[in-house]
């Protein structure tokens, strides 16, 4: 409602392309972080010629509606996704553009509202966007000063623009966000001219603009206007048409984007053909990133601590996957996530692949979602200690929901597999590639001559999928004295309350977990 003019101008900028255009990789991206306002997005997609708007989910779903880049709704996620999309553009541009051939060059636009601004995740992601100098990220902040509970006065009185300046952003304030079309166009031009900083365009708007009785009230936030007030609004705005009627002048205004898009497509295709001729190797790599095709990878079986094996895997994969990039939330040296042959992705070295997220688990997760949704061949990974996944659960849920990360199709790695336990295990699995593996242990010598079979079960799920015969060979029914994991006659050694923080030896002693007590 209040953001309709924003949206219109935005789509003038963004939706240049015929949706049937096979070239989509270098398109501008648009994220509606205020996902509950997707009515606007559907209407504009329809006007822009997309025939994708058939079902209308209450929040935009990337897997449901072509033209929707990312699934949004939970507040603050979308702006962080947009940071990921802009990071992807900056990274690919730095790696593949040539002085005479700029084939990666697009903007990322995002509309966010008060709710997104209030959520901590947006501050995390926007702090990184400023740090990385994502000059092609343009954020429209719909300052409608109304939230579900009423005026934002009751809980949100900070100076948002000043905060963004502190985060290293360029900021613009448009006081008439309702009808200030020229100011909005000028602001977009200004934002584009600032190439070393992301831009926040704050638009002070009236929620429910045009509604004579409900504008500027929380009554229009989560509820429909109602037939009577819709009529009054139409009258007030001078809109005499039937519902769903698109007047001819509007149609012709929007339809001009189709030939414009076709011309831009032809231009880019010519550029890319030239690039292909000159830079054969780069083209092959880039095509893999655009399409998501992957080489075959055969891991070797080696013995080491799991976090070291994980790093070796990442490094091996990074050699064959040109789109693999990522990092940790300030735990790179603990999670072993550094790709040793690359440097840090930073403002002035965006071609590198180690992303330093700082202690921002939530922002990290949502930024990775954005990276993953940029191109099928871009494969982000991220890492923290297992317990701190609590900080990023909302991003993990959305990742699964929108198939940004948990999918394994087309060779994608399980993006959150790096998440690991904080407390180092005293006996790391000896062999991690099988579902279960056994060793005739020498433990008997330690404790009264008992024979001990050590089973390293790295995945319950994988184990359950094996044949009964195999399972019997690993955990024979005749051996009933089992110490964690499992079995109806097994004995679980562990705790059923919260742990404590101390070295492993101290903790085991404190809780009475020892071979003497267990066997």
Question: Which of 39, 155, 424, 445 is close enough to bind a second copy by CB under 8 A?
Answer: 155
Give one DSSP letter per residue of 75-123, joined into a string.
Answer: TTHHHHHHHHHHHHHHHHHHHH-BTTB------EEEEEEHHHHHSHHHH
Q: Is 163 in the site for a second copy (CB under 8 A)?
A: yes
Cβ contact 116:149 at 8 Å: no
Q: Does 202 bind a second copy (CB under 8 A)?
A: no
How many chain residues touch a second copy (CB under 8 A)?
Answer: 68
Determine the 3-state secondary structure of 279 from DSSP: coil
Residue 390 within binding range of a second copy, rule CB under 8 A: yes
Residue 381 in tokens = 């990974």
Asked if 366 is part of the footprint of a second copy (rule: CB under 8 A), the reply reads no
Q: Which is nearer to a second copy, 47 or 329 (CB)?
A: 329
CB of 483 to a second copy, least distance (A): 27
Decide if 361 is catalytic.
yes
CA torsion sign, 80 to 86 to 90 to 92? positive
From candidates 237, 250, 263, 387, binder to a second copy by CB under 8 A: 387
> Among residues 407, 343, 333, 399, which one has the least CA distance to residue 367?
399
- Kindly report each contact of residues 46-52 with a partner whose C-beta sits within 8 Å and lies 24 or more positions away, as own/partner: 47/11, 47/246, 47/250, 47/251, 47/254, 48/11, 48/15, 48/19, 48/254, 48/257, 49/15, 49/18, 49/19, 49/254, 49/255, 49/257, 49/258, 50/19, 51/19, 52/19
C-alpha closest to that of 475 among 484, 100, 417: 484
Between residues 277 and 308, which has the closer beta carbon with respect to a second copy?
308
Among 13, 190, 260, 344, binds a second copy (CB under 8 A): 344
**Dist CA 449 CA 331 (whole Å):** 42
By CB under 8 A, residue 25 contacts a second copy: no
What is the spatial distance between Cα 316 and Cα 416, in angstroms, rounded to a whole number?
A: 18
Contacts of 96 (CB under 8 A, 6+ apart): 103, 104, 282, 285, 286
Applying CB under 8 A, does 352 fall inside the site for a second copy?
A: no
Residue 227: count other Cβ atoms within 10 Å of its Cβ: 8
Nearer to a second copy, 391 or 416 (CB): 391
Question: Binding to a second copy by residue 154, rule CB under 8 A?
Answer: yes
Cα four-point dihedral sign 236, 239, 241, 245: negative
Query: CB 142 → a second copy: shortest distance, Å?
Result: 14
Nearer CB in complex with a second copy: 125/294: 125
Choosing from 305, 313, 315, 394, the residue that interacts with a second copy (CB under 8 A) is: 394
308 CA to centre of own chain:
26
Of the residues 69, 89, 119, 361, only one is catalytic, namely: 361
Q: Specify the stretch interacting with a second copy by CB under 8 A; choose among 3-11, 269-277, 327-335, 461-469.
A: 327-335
- Smallest separation (angstroms) from a second copy to the CB of 179: 28
In angstroms, the CA 128 to CA 87 distance is 10
Which tokens is 134 given?
């994502």
Q: Does 149 bind a second copy (CB under 8 A)?
A: yes
Radius of gyration, CA atoms only, the chain: 27
Check binding of 438 to a second copy (CB under 8 A).
Answer: no
The verdict on 127 binding a second copy (CB under 8 A) reads: yes
| Binding range to a second copy, per CB under 8 A, among 42-50, 159-167, 183-191, 434-442 | 159-167
DSSP structural state of residue 424: P
User: 37, 363, 380, 436: which one contacts a second copy (CB under 8 A)?
Assistant: 363
Task: Compute the least distance from the CB of residue 351 to a second copy, in Å.
Answer: 16
Binding a second copy by CB under 8 A: which of 124, 142, 143, 229?
124
Query: Hey, which residues between 84 and 123 contact a second copy (CB under 8 A)?
Result: 114-115, 118-123
Q: Does 199 bind a second copy (CB under 8 A)?
A: no
Report, in Å, the least distance between residue 398 CB and a second copy. Answer: 9
Which CB atom, from 288 or from 363, has the smaller least distance to a second copy?
363
CB of 341 to a second copy, least distance (A): 18
Residues that bind a second copy (CB under 8 A): 57-59, 61, 73-76, 114-115, 118-124, 127-128, 130-131, 147-149, 152, 154-163, 165-168, 328, 330-334, 344, 346, 356-363, 387-388, 390-391, 393-394, 397, 400-401, 498, 500-502
Residues with catalytic function: 361
């Amino acid at each position: 409602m209040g953001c309709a003019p924003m949206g219109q101008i935005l789509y003038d900028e963004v939706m240049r392309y015929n949706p049937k255009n096979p070239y989509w990789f270098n398109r501008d991206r648009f994220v509606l972080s205020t996902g509950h306002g997707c009515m606007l997005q559907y209407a504009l997609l329809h006007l822009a010629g997309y025939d994708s708007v058939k079902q209308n989910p209450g929040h935009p779903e990337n897997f449901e509606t072509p033209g929707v880049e990312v699934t949004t709704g939970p507040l603050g996620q979308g702006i962080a996704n947009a940071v990921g999309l802009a990071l992807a553009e900056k990274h690919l541009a730095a790696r593949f553009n040539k002085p005479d051939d700029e084939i990666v060059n697009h903007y990322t636009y995002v509309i966010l509202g008060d709710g997104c601004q209030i959520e901590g995740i947006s501050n995390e992601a926007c702090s990184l966007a400023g740090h990385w100098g994502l000059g092609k990220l343009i954020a429209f902040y719909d300052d409608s000063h109304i939230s579900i509970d009423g005026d934002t006065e009751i809980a949100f009185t900070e100076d948002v623009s000043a905060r963004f300046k502190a985060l290293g952003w360029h900021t613009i304030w448009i006081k008439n966000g309702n009808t200030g079309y020229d100011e909005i166009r000028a602001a977009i031009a200004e934002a584009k001219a600032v190439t070393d900083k992301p831009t926040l365009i704050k638009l002070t708007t009236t929620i429910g603009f045009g509604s004579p009785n409900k504008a500027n009230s929380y009554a229009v936030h989560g509820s429909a206007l109602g037939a009577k007030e819709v009529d009054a609004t139409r009258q007030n705005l001078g809109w005499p048409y039937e519902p769903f009627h698109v007047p001819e002048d509007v149609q012709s205004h929007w339809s001009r984007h189709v030939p414009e898009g076709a011309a831009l497509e032809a231009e880019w295709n010519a550029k890319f053909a030239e690039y292909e001729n000159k830079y054969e190797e780069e083209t092959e790599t880039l095509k893999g990133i655009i399409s998501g095709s992957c080489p075959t990878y055969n891991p070797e079986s080696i013995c080491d601590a799991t976090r070291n094996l994980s790093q070796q895997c990442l490094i091996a994969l990074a050699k064959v996957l040109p789109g693999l990039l990522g990092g940790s939330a300030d735990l790179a040296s603990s999670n072993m996530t550094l790709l040793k042959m690359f440097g840090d992705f930073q403002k002035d070295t965006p071609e590198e692949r180690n992303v330093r997220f700082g202690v921002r688990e939530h922002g990290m997760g949502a930024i990775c979602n954005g990276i993953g949704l940029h191109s099928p061949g871009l494969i982000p990974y991220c890492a923290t200690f297992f317990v701190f996944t609590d900080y990023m659960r909302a991003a993990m849920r959305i990742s699964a929901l929108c198939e940004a990360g948990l999918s394994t199709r087309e060779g994608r790695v399980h993006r959150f597999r790096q998440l690991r336990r904080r407390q180092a295990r005293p006996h790391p699995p000896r062999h991690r590639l099988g579902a279960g593996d056994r060793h005739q242990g020498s433990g008997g010598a330690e404790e009264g001559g008992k024979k001990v079979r050590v089973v390293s079960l790295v995945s319950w799920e994988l184990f359950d999928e094996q044949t009964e015969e195999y399972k019997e060979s690993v955990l024979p029914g005749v051996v009933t004295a089992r110490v964690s994991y499992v079995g109806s006659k097994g004995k679980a050694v562990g705790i059923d309350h919260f742990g404590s923080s101390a070295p492993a030896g101290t903790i085991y002693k404190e809780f009475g977990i020892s071979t003497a007590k267990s066997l």
